[in-house]
Amino acid sequence: MKKLLWSVMLIPFVISSCGTKNDAGNDTAGPDFLAANIDSTVKPGDDFFLFANNGWFKKNPIPASEQSNGLWQLIRDTINAQVRQICESSAALKDAPKGSAKQKVGDMFFSGMDSINNNKLGLAALQPELDQIAAINDKATLAKAVAKIHMVSGAPLFNFYVGQDDKQSDKYAIFISQGDYRYLIVLTMWIQMNVH
């Protein structure tokens, strides 16, 4: 009980020590986000999570269109809205210099959003890849098709990436893991039927 009492008494000290002051001694960080979202109606000893976070949850209920809500969702939504605004404004430009980033982003975005033209084209853009898959008749052509899929869209046999090492956090390691199961199902069926 004594440890809990000391822990609770330290919370205001920790919260107040997180502020930032300029040379004149004025607070530059604004209101403390953590302190502003404490729900003092909940006893920290009963449910510390709600004590520390319930103020935020009360102000930010889960939208009906979502399954969850949180700070990371807010960040993701903000970034997605900014990216969309960049894409839409770039696509609306009629005089962007040829080869500029705005022209490239605008053209790419418009090409994906032009559903009328995309529906007319159908699978025509994918036909070379579909033909390559249809032409698989041995291990060599299978390897070429798999390499092409890895280069343009997916990971049919394995995923390959570099990330932080699980055992030595100051090092990076190469990771290889199972590929996309949808590709694996199709390739396994093809191998069973064709490669002897």
Q: Give start and end residues of each alpha helix (H) in the chain.
A: 2-16, 33-36, 48-59, 71-92, 101-113, 115-121, 127-134, 139-152, 181-194
Separation of alpha carbons 1 and 129, rounded Å? 68
Q: What is the DSSP string of 86-139?
A: HHHHHHH-SSPPTTSHHHHHHHHHHHHH-HHHHHHHTTGGGHHHHHHHHT--SH
* pLDDT category of residue 173 using cuts at 50, 70 and 90: very high
Residue-level pLDDT at 56:
85
Q: What's the pTM?
A: 0.48
* Residue 178, both tokens: 């199972």
Question: Per residue in 51-81, pLDDT tens?
Answer: 998 898 888 888 888 888 777 888 899 999 9
3-state helix, strand, coil in the chain (%, to 5): 55, 10, 35
Question: Per residue in 119-160, pLDDT tens?
Answer: 998 888 888 888 888 888 888 988 888 888 888 777 888 888
| Percent over 90 (pLDDT), the chain | 33
Distance of alpha carbon 92 from its chain centroid, rounded? 26
Average pLDDT over residues 18-45: 73
SS3 1: coil
Average pLDDT over residues 8-23: 50
